[in-house]
Amino acid sequence: MIKNDLFLRALKGETVERPPVWMMRQAGRYLPEFIAIREKYDFFTRCRTPELASEITVQPIRRFGMDAAILFSDILVIPQAMNIEVEMKPNFGPYLPNPVRSQKGVDEVIVPDVNVELDYVMQAIKATKELLSNEVPLIGFAGSPWTILCYVVQGQGSKNFDKAKEFCFTQPQAAHQLLQKITDTTIAYLKAKVKAGVDVVQIFDSWGGMLSPTDYQEFSWRYINQIVEALKDEAPVIAFGKGCWFALEEMAKSNVSAIGVDWTITPKNARYLSGGNITLQGNFDPSRLLSPPVTIKKMVHQMINEFGKDKYIVNLGHGILPNIPLDNVKAFIDAVKEYK
């Protein structure tokens, strides 16, 4: 039994004494203990070495005592397993030297055996579960098929993912084949993660907000929903689409256990658009963690009051930034724990 099951209870919509709290990207770059590991090992070595990945995962729990841990990994391990080369360049980010931009390119993409190609992730989960020793639940995650396609076609990060959109709109058949291959791989991957021991899964649609509401349905949500349907009986599923407030109503009709929201929507509107019955997660602006601790605490309490303490998980509206002072992170977590 997990000792602190507050997060799991909130996902079920149960009445809680206070909402649970964790932070997207909590395992990582703002922590001095993470930076010490980063100086010794490159990015994908950290992802692929179970001892390192598990240690990085539990670092923020040791320091701040969040109500859930999220496995240290990356959404781009999926394309790597699918026979697509992915590099992580320092001070640049992801770089894919051979982007997929044709039917021929799509044909060369494989749907791998995730238990072979991504076994290191499963080993990291097992190692992490040992380190956590049932203190808090563990979250496993994947990128949405659309978000993965964005990198696979664009070849790197982008402000507008114009090449990815061009590919979808000029070669829709090839694009849908690629999206389906990513979806099939992701379903197998998340199922394997649950089997290995994660308690909850989250789907990150980081670039969903790049699409119009109509295109979102066609190129993103229909594939996310396939994943939700495949996983709903295995573990609670959280769907998070950055900039996707327009899809909240649709998301709420699905079998997700919770929906993540970013800071561009008010709690009131998020509740309204999602129908008021589903657990919501978010939506503190990560940059607001640069405010003084006293301001952070006040804003967090106000945020909880506006969302309501039940059917709510306190989180950021996107990943924590690397330059956030530790005292400010502590103020954010403590504000939730002190909530009355």
Encode pLDDT of 231-264 as tens digits.
Answer: 999 999 999 999 999 999 999 999 999 999 999 9
Distant-in-sequence contacts of 229-234, Cβ < 8 A, 24+ apart: 229/254, 229/255, 230/187, 230/190, 230/191, 231/187, 231/190, 231/191, 231/194, 231/201, 234/190, 234/191, 234/194
Residue type, 268: K
At residue 176, the pLDDT reads: 98
Instruction: For residue 192, give the H/E element and its range.
Output: helix 172-196
Domain 6-337's class? alpha beta
b or e along 192-207 (b: 16 or more beta carbons within 10 Å of the residue's beta carbon)?
bbbebbbbbbbbbbbb
Query: Where is the binding site for substrate, in residues?
Result: 25-29, 44, 74, 151, 206, 318
* Angle formed by the axes of helices 293-307 and 326-337, nearest 10°: 40
Short-list 245, 273, 277, CA closest to 260: 245
* Angle formed by the axes of helices 326-337 and 50-64, nearest 10°: 60
Mean pLDDT of 98-111: 98
At residue 59, the pLDDT reads: 98
- Active site residues per annotation: 25, 29, 38, 74, 151
Question: What pLDDT, in 10s, does the model give residues 169-222?
Answer: 999 999 999 999 999 999 999 999 999 999 999 999 999 999 999 999 999 999
At residue 307, the pLDDT reads: 98
Q: Judge whether 256 and 278 are in contact, CB under 8 Å.
A: yes
- For 222, phi then psi, to 5°, come to -60, -30
Question: What pLDDT, in 10s, does the model give residues 82-98?
Answer: 999 999 998 899 999 99
At residue 90, the pLDDT reads: 87
Question: Which tokens is 131 given?
Answer: 């380190």
Residue with tokens 């790197």: 156
Domain ranges of the chain: 6-337
CA distance 168 to 149: 9
CA distance 244 to 210: 9
Whether the pLDDT of residue 10 is over 90: the answer is: yes
CA distance 41 to 15: 43
Question: What pLDDT, in 10s, does the model give residues 36-74?
Answer: 999 999 999 999 999 999 999 999 999 999 999 999 999
Question: What pLDDT, in 10s, does the model give residues 323-338?
Answer: 999 999 999 999 999 9
Residue with tokens 């509740």: 271
Q: Judge whether 166 and 118 are in contact, CB under 8 Å.
A: no
Q: Judge whether 102 and 45 are in contact, CB under 8 Å.
A: no
CA distance 257 to 259: 7
Q: Judge whether 279 and 314 are in contact, CB under 8 Å.
A: no
CA distance 218 to 53: 35
From start to end of the chain, where are the E strands? 69-70, 87-89, 93-95, 138-143, 200-205, 237-241, 258-261, 279-284, 312-316
